[in-house]
Structure 1
Amino acid sequence: MFICFFILKSATTWGQAPSWKWGPKNPDGSYDIYFTGSGGYKIRNMGFGTSSPIAPITFPSILGNKISLWNYGKTHFGLGIGPALFQIFTDRIGSDFAFGYGSSDNFTETVRIRGNGNIGIGMKDPGFPLNFASTAGDKISFWGNSGVSYGIGVQSLLLQIHTDIHTSDIAFGYGSSKHFNENLRIKGNGNVGIGTSSPTERLTIAGGSTPGLLFTSGPGFTYGIIKFGTIDHYIKSGVVGGMELYDNSSIRLMASKTLSFSTDNFRDTSQSKELMTILNNGNIGIGTTKPGAPLSFASYVGAKILLYGDSALNFGLGIQNYLLQIYTSGKNSDIAFGYGSSAAFTETMRIKGNGNVGIGTKDPGDYKLAVEGKIGAREVEVKSGPWPDFVFDKKYTLRTLQEVEDFISTNKHLPEIPSEETVKKEGINLGNMNALLLQKIEELTLYVIDQDKRIKAVEKENAILREKVNQH
């Protein structure tokens, strides 16, 4: 049996201990000690290991275990003192603390502290450092005892952070409650202010050294999303620190008079360069602030529209020396005209990179103009080579008609005129053919003149013969 000696401090006389006696033996083999106040004595302060108790129960000022509620070994449920630390402990990490009401054998638990440090309010098995029972309603009240309050609650799968009334706000910041530096406020009406405590719109961002919005992308994503209504608007960071704004449907920018796009210094507009302007009449100016047509460019020579390619070789339109240019990237690239669309294109005319033009054909070959079909014109001017006036030169040797007949009999076509087979295979050159035909007409004219001379000579001879016959 372990006997603990202590000194009792009387309410009236110091150093005089009251009488005590053993009680009956308990069922577990222990005894109770009863103190009596005979002679007017009653117990005031008790000292365990100290002769100068200054409280109803006083322990000596040494570190270590003070009260053991269960178990006598090194590990137990009890109270102790560490270096500047009051300790309430269990025997091991698997044992817990519970707070509640009733009695030890009729206990209603309200709070539990697990051996691992997790605290459960209204639950016995907290899985987090602070856990509440899985019931809807208020969880934490920072101000107010019941009903409306400043606190945190849960309702219908919704985490709520609330104030007491709609004119009260929620603020985020740093410092302390007394010395608070606010950087974000949610008004009771739902308006959010960043850098301002008086937001007038659903989201108000006050200016500062670094104003604006920052969107960052997580793994697998390269864009941020702003959603208005049911439409997603995407913001993407460019490869050189720029920004892309795009949408699944449409993006609408509005201005009362002029909508302009600029670069350079947005803080100092005197250093900014306005690149594109849209007037309220719909005219768009690129490089000019006063577009006089639905699409206007700055008045300087050079490339104007780039349809494909880079700054060096591309398909596009440009201006040089009072000349409108439509060009491809190289001499092996062509320009085509037609109808339909880019993906479903029906070509009607092509200009080859070498300058040859095909109408109704994609391959004009070596011809400057190749037409697959009929050509209608009121006047055609052909500039050709040598004209066959050499036929009338006295040095020109005109074939005899017999020679012509022999050639036709052998070749089945006139001399110098292409055969039917050649025309079918190679076609004809209008200028050359007209010159050849004129040559044949001129040759035929010479034949006719010669025949006329011969006829006149015969007629003269016949007249002489007739005169002689008449004389006889």
Structure 2
Amino acid sequence: MPRLSRFFRIALCILPLAGPAGAEVLSTTNPSILDNLCVGANCAISESFNSNFNQIELKSNNTRLLFDDTSSFGGFPSNDWAIQANDTTSGGEDQLMFVDATTGLEVMTIKALANSSTLVLARDRKVGIGTELPQADLHIVTASPSKIRMHDTFGGSEWMITFANGGFRLQDRGTLNYPFNIADNAPEGALWVKFDGKVGMGTTNPQAPLQINNTDTATNDLQGIIVQNISGLPGPRGLLTMRNSGGSYFTLENTDSGTTWFFTHENRTPNRFIISDAVPDGPEMTLTADGILTVPGGFVVNNTTLNVPDYVFAPEYDLTPLSEVSAFIAENRHLPDVPSAAQIARDGLDMTDMQMRLLKKVEELTLYTLDLEAARRAQQQELARLAQVEAENAALAARLARIEAALAER
């Protein structure tokens, strides 16, 4: 028997056996075809096979190889398949199709003029697109941006993975936006999701639901987290919210100085807002929901723009007469230059401004007091002078009485 690599063996073949002129019958002898075989309406009696060693040729206007499965036993697969070259209608495409002959659907298609190595299945199960030597389970090599496009015809969603433009990008084809991008040369662990769902940015071993490590040595202010609304539309927005079933706090830790500050939402009544350091000497500040602020230490305002009212003591300061102050109070029911209760209820209370206004009133009150003291002293001096005059007058009156008495005796 000839070598199988040189000849093609078939179980059933068409041979010109005995029978009516031109008739063909099925052979039952499991024959082999020597050399080459041409099948199709356009095969010549003496077909000339080219130098590419085409042992089998399908030669016709429409060429199709059908796999007709005649299995009739229950449970056995019986689907029919076909390999078809080119469409069978005018204007159709030049392509090789693998067809599910039972349903008539084209399962896989290879277009004519496809590039070399368009699809390569390597012996180590790697798949190459555009490469003869795939180096991964799926290896794509192109001279233009590599893309994987996914289209959901039911829901209409369409996305595309792009390996170009300096990185790995994910595009929403409906909006043409790129919601996800990883640039080339991104550092190790730029975005990392652990097996337990923890997310790391700048670390491959996040210890919290979200951990951000920054190794940038720059000293500018943009080294943390920026939350910014860029819509350009004015209006208040909640840009940062932290929720917990109970108390919560966040920590500011200076690893250089070893100092730590805690900002705490208290987990018991009255659920105060507390600022404290790591020293166990109690909080440095507390604030209740009723607006009661407690600062155990001092309260210092170091604002160089404060208008400290020392000008009240200048010689040219025009101190308002008390009569005018009295008239103002009678009409307005509050001191001049001091906001009323209605103003404070409407605009709030600026503690620093109020302190300066009260200091001014204290200084003016001091001037009023000094004026009253000067007047009191002057009055005392006048009273003393009048008492002396009265004493001198009494002495003169007594002398006059003695003189009159002496004259009366003569």
TM-score class normalised by the smaller sequence = 0.3 to 0.5
Structure whose residues are more often strand by fraction:
1
Q: Give the structure, 1 or 2, with the largest relative contact order (CA under 8 Å, sep 6 or more).
A: 2
Higher alpha-carbon Rg? 1
Q: TM-score, normalised by structure 2?
A: 0.39
